[in-house]
Amino acid sequence: MKKNDEVICNVCGISSKDEKDAVFIQAIKGGESVDICTSCMPTVIHGSGSVVRSNESIAAELGK
């Protein structure tokens, strides 16, 4: 998900601010734009999209 000028992985929660070299791939789940870092892509491609969390879920976790 995107938050201001920061990108956060919808699978592992890694932030573009913490990992300067991280590459994020933009995707869509359930009509919602999500972002997935390359470390998590194999899991999504070879596994299931169920590991991709909603922006609402990520935002709630960040709000802790």
Q: Which is nearer to Zn ion, 37 or 64 (CB)?
A: 37
Q: Please select the residue that binds Zn ion; options are 6, 12, 32, 61, rule is CB under 5 A.
A: 12
Distance CA 41, CA 5 (A): 22
Considering the rule CB under 5 A, would residue 51 count as an interface residue with Zn ion? Answer: no
Which amino acid type is present at position 59? A
> Which residue's structure tokens are 């913490």?
18
Based on the shown chain and the rule CB under 5 A, indicate whether residue 34 belongs to the binding site for Zn ion. no
The region of 25-33, 40-48, 55-63 touching Zn ion under the rule CB under 5 A is 40-48
